[in-house]
Amino acid sequence: MKIIKFKTKKGYSYKRKIFVRDLVLKILVGIHNFEKKKKQRVKFNVEINIDPMLSPHENNLNTIVNYEDVIKTIKKITNKKHYLLLETLSEDIFFKLFKDSKIKKIKLRIEKLDIIKNTSSVGIEVEKIKTNEY
């Protein structure tokens, strides 16, 4: 009996991410009266996992997730209203960003920078994975 060996194609497994680090905006957020009157510095860090089956093409920007668009989205959301909680702000950001079908997972960290003495920041970190398509 003769054993035949087939050549295997070399395949690749991808994880493709974009990120925005240390985006600092002055926004209205918080439950305290002084937080409702004056904007405060809030830092955003975002990691976005892209559908690994997509290939980027230089001539078609629709094949990527543009980090400038991510920043514009966060700015637009934070300018719309005063958020009592960072948690509700994060949910609005997730909702808007997940409208892009290329996005599969988002890790979002939001930090208030000047709110509590003796700390550099306080905040939340939330990670969401898109489990089904709409």
Backbone angles phi, psi at 62, to 5 degrees: -75, -5
First to last CA, the chain: 53
Domains of the chain: 16-129 (3.30.1130.10)
* pTM of the complete model: 0.86
Residues in the chain predicted with pLDDT less than 50, given as ranges, are 134
Helices (H), 1-134: 33-37, 67-80, 86-97
pLDDT at residue 60, as a whole number: 82
